Amino acid sequence: MARFLIRRLLWLIPVMFVVAIITFVLMHMAPGGPFDKDPSQRQVDAVTQKALNAQFGLDKEEWLDFGALSKGDIVGFFDTQFFTYMIGGTVKGQWRCGFICGNLGLSFRQRGLTVQDIVLKPPEGKAPWDSKAGYSLRLGLLALFFAMLIGVPLGVVSALRQNTPVDYASLFIATSGVTVPNFVFGIFLIIIFAVFLHAVPVVPTSWDSPLVWILPTIVLGFGLLAQTARLTRASMLEVMRQDYIRTARAKGLGERVVVWRHMLKNALIPVVTIMGPALAGLITGSFIIETMFAFPGWGRQFVTAIQQRDYSMILATTLIFALLIQIANMTVDLIYTFLDPRIKVN
């Protein structure tokens, strides 16, 4: 187990490095820059832009400085935009450690603030979970809990009552969750519960009340609920036909024991597989849902950073997202060993 964890953690290094390279290339391929309104209209004059580029290190080479190498300056060869952000480098004559030290960089558009201040720092007098990342984390975990709490039992009941009205109703819910976009589903819920029933405010001004979390949680988790229900049903139907299930019944075990201890435990393996990437996606939030409900998460912040060419915010958020996916996949591999003793961690 320890060797497995160490090996997987070491694999994080090249994976994160490749993700950083791809993101960096795509960022700089897009037209415009951090200090442009749009590709055809300058926001600042040339002198100011030159000073800002020097302040944020954009006056350096993007990848490698072959001019410094020709002078025998090995350190200067790597003193470029990419390596300065990832590892560290000099900015305005001062050494600044990079992403490997936990430094997510300065925001190019929100002057005087770092990415940590924007995403991880809560408002004055608030708890750490009231930051943008904290809000997205809470909403993602609530959506995952909602999807698992409803989706798994729905799939189990659907499989046990195959080709009955219960099965048809379950398939209708699952198909609706997969085919209907979440923003359409969210609009219907807002019209019903906020406009007609006045149960919740249309645009919450405060997220301190648990009541205002209900609609965003349902909308964000409904798609995953549908996938979970369909996958659980299909996996249960396959497990039900296995020989060891007939053997368990022949031994006189109760139906409840057969279903929950023998069937479900093996049927959950495919479900757990999708939980890793799904959890990472839920935690990072959804731009559409955050916009609909004016939710103070980091999903909308990420899309805004792309529009504004805020390079530090784009690169940091993408790397954090990649890190969450890798950790979630590693956790899924460990859960496999508890669900099925035949699976060994090597």
Q: Is residue 57 part of a domain?
A: no
Which stretches of 62-164 are DSSP H helices? 66-70, 74-77, 81-86, 115, 132-160
Rounded to 5, what percent of the chain is helix, strand, coil?
Answer: 70, 5, 25
> What are the structure tokens assigned to 113, written together?
């603030």
Which stretches of 194-298 are DSSP H helices? 214-240, 243-250, 255-257, 264-283, 287-292
pLDDT in tens, 198-228: 887 777 777 878 888 888 888 888 888 988 8
Min mean pLDDT across 2-16, 53-67, 132-146 is at 53-67
- Higher pLDDT pick, 267 / 151: 151
Query: Which residues are registered as beta bridge partners of 131?
Result: none
Q: Is residue 280 part of a domain?
A: yes
- Higher pLDDT pick, 119 / 77: 119
Q: Is residue 28 part of a domain?
A: no
Q: Is residue 194 part of a domain?
A: yes
CB 158 within 8 A of CB 229: yes
CA distances 95 to 57, 84, 88, Å, are 12, 9, 7
Q: Is residue 51 part of a domain?
A: no
Q: Give the pLDDT of residue 39.
A: 47
pLDDT in tens, 20-43: 889 888 888 877 767 665 444 455
Q: Give the pLDDT of residue 320.
A: 85
What is the pLDDT of the chain when averaged over all its residues? Answer: 79
pLDDT band at 342, cuts 50/70/90?
A: low
Mean pLDDT of 79-92: 76
- Domain encompassing residue 314: 128-339
What are 17-21's contacts with CB under 8 Å, separation 24+? 17/86, 19/318, 19/319, 19/322, 20/82, 20/86, 20/99, 20/315, 20/318, 20/319, 21/82
Number of domains in the chain: 1
Q: Is residue 56 part of a domain?
A: no
Residue 36 φ then ψ, to 5°: -115, 145
Half-sphere exposure of 275 (CA within 13 A, CB side): 24
Q: Is residue 8 part of a domain?
A: no
Q: What CATH number should be reported for the domain holding residue 183? A: 1.10.3720.10
Q: Is residue 45 part of a domain?
A: no
